[in-house]
Amino acid sequence: MNKKRKELIISVTGVLLLLLSAVFCYQTVRDAIINNEKESIQNIAEVSSHSLKATLQGKSNLVYAALSGDMANEESIEASLLKIGEKGKYIRLDQVSQLQDWEADSCEEAGKNPGHVIAGPIRKTYSGGYVLYLTKAVYMNRSIAGYVQIELNLDEIYEGEQDLSNLNVGNQGYCIVKDIDGTTVMADARNEKEEISFSSKDVSGCEVVWSYEVEGGSPKKTQKLVAYNTVDFNGVQFVLCVVEDYRDITAPIVKIAFYLSLFGVLILIWIGIFGYRILKQQKEEEKLKIALAHEKELNEANEAMKNQESLMQKYNHSKTMTFLTGALAHEFNNLMTPIVLYSELLSDNDTVMQEMPEEVYELNMSAKRCEELAKQLLDYSRQGRAERVLSEYNATFAVESSISIVSRLIPENIKLETSVCSTSYYIKGQVGALNQIILNLVTNAIHAIGDKKGRIKLQFGLSVDDDQMVRLVVEDNGCGIPKDLRKHVFEPFFTTKKDGKGTGIGLTVVKRMVEEHGGWIQVQSEEEKGTTFIMNFPRVDDFE
């Protein structure tokens, strides 16, 4: 079966290569034929353009010769018109104001250039043909007496110019002349209804374009090969086009391509029959694949059930820990009640306040922070339903007061380094939350360093990345966090400490508090080198 499949692949590959070769050969031969024909009709267009320009220039020279110098009277002007042999008229100066605008403009131009024959414009006649006007100023008594306008019938020029009217290119090639706007002004009667447009604005060139001819009331679209050359006659531009039917040029190679395509279809039919036999044999393979897929689905379903059971166990564990956290918060709150009461009594005792004012103040502040901690534990366990009160407070003062507390918790083997800016920056959040953040992070740092000599560095100030943010950095050179565990450090109840030494909610609470301030926290750590927590808080401007 594998052998037959290989044979099928080889056969298909061979056919594709054969077809690609045929297409390549077809395009190569076609392009060569087209390029050769382009060069040929381009040369014809250039020769015909020179011939047309010479004919028009001859007409202009004849007008100049017949009307140069002083004329004796109007009869001599009329006699000169007869010598020219073209339809024309004499216009006296007093008749100029009665002319049409284009006629008056031509006379005005001839008056400015009395020694020249002015060509243009090209106008369509009532019979449907086109004429080119030649205008020249005429003199009597050495001053301009009027103007002569000669009408050159372009159809007659086209018929008289053998290089244009009798041009034969290929089977049905022909020549037409357009003005600079694309209007056909000279053409054979059989081609005058055909409209050809091309995109190039060059003086000369050759390209394949689409032609439209109206037959039976509907346009007929055909492809043409057009060589064009621009004729500039005294400022009037004509575009001479030599046109050849594209199909006549490519007909031989198209026939060859047809026979090759027919041959390719026959080969494909043979391959289809051969492939049908292969497909019949593959049905058995499909049945086997379905059986294997069914077995795989059963295994995946069993694995999904095991994963679901594991998730349920984690969910039950989370609910249990939430309940215990709430109970612990309630008990902690009850135990703190007498402490708060006695701290208030000490505050009311003048003797104690005189001897130990700082200690009593710190005791009161610690009691309040304990109350805040109890509220946060209740909030975490979803048993504290009181709405969080967010207020704007002095973050610099909160950091400094936190340093005075945690400095007493630092053991002798650890050195605390602090760097706090002198500027007071305000942030918005729960009062006491920043103290709890610093306390949790410093406590974690102490545990990470352990009994060895170490260093904890605490920095606070304006962020170097954004002057609208303040940054708090807590850094230690402890044991660090393994790379595979860093992404879990903010998850609830996840801890890297030994059993009984951590609850796994400290960093979770820290992250939530930072986010309540509208900030964010990052952790950078390397094993045996230490850990750094970076927190950014949006500061409050113009706080009063």
Full DSSP string of 206-250? EEEEEEEEEETTEEEEEEEEEEEEEEEETTEEEEEEEEEEHHHHH
Domain ranges of the chain: 1-287, 387-540
Contact 345, 367 (CB under 8 A): no
Element holding 157 (H helix, E strand): helix 154-160
212: left (phi over 0), alpha (psi -120 to 50) or beta: beta
Collapse the DSSP code of 185 into the 3-class scheme (helix H, G, I; strand E, B; otherwise coil) and give the result: strand
Residue 267 has which token pair? 């080969």
What pLDDT sits at residue 72?
79
pTM for the complete prediction? Answer: 0.44
Full DSSP string of 321-338? HHHHHHHHHHHHHHHHHH
Q: What is the pLDDT of residues 406-415, one digit of tens each?
A: 888 888 999 9
Q: What is the pLDDT of residues 329-356, one digit of tens each?
A: 666 666 676 777 777 777 778 787 787 8
| Residue 380: closest CA among 314, 329, 444 | 329
What pLDDT sits at residue 203?
66
The pLDDT tens digits along the chain (544 residues) read 566 667 667 777 777 777 777 777 777 887 888 888 888 888 888 888 888 888 888 888 888 888 887 787 888 888 888 888 788 888 888 888 888 888 888 888 888 888 888 887 888 888 888 888 888 888 888 888 888 888 888 888 888 776 666 666 665 678 888 888 888 888 876 665 566 665 556 667 888 887 776 666 677 778 888 888 888 888 888 888 888 887 877 777 777 777 777 777 787 787 778 777 777 777 888 888 888 888 888 888 778 777 776 666 665 566 666 666 666 666 666 667 677 777 777 777 878 778 788 887 778 777 777 776 676 666 666 544 445 678 899 999 999 999 988 888 888 999 999 999 999 999 999 888 898 899 889 988 998 898 899 999 999 999 998 989 999 999 999 989 888 888 888 887 767 666 555 566 778 888 989 999 999 999 999 988 999 999 999 999 755 5
What pLDDT sits at residue 79?
81
Contact 470, 518 (CB under 8 A): no
395-406 helix and 357-380 helix, angle to the nearest 10 degrees: 100
What pLDDT sits at residue 286?
83
What pLDDT sits at residue 302?
77
Task: Give the per-residue SS3 of 414-461.
Answer: EEEEEEECCCCCEEEECCCHHHHHHHHHHHHHHHHHCCCCEEEEEEEE
Architecture of 387-540 per CATH?
2-Layer Sandwich (3.30)
What pLDDT sits at residue 384?
42
Spatial separation of the C-alpha atoms in residues 462 and 80, rounded to whole Å: 99
Full DSSP string of 9-21? HHHHHHHHHHHHH
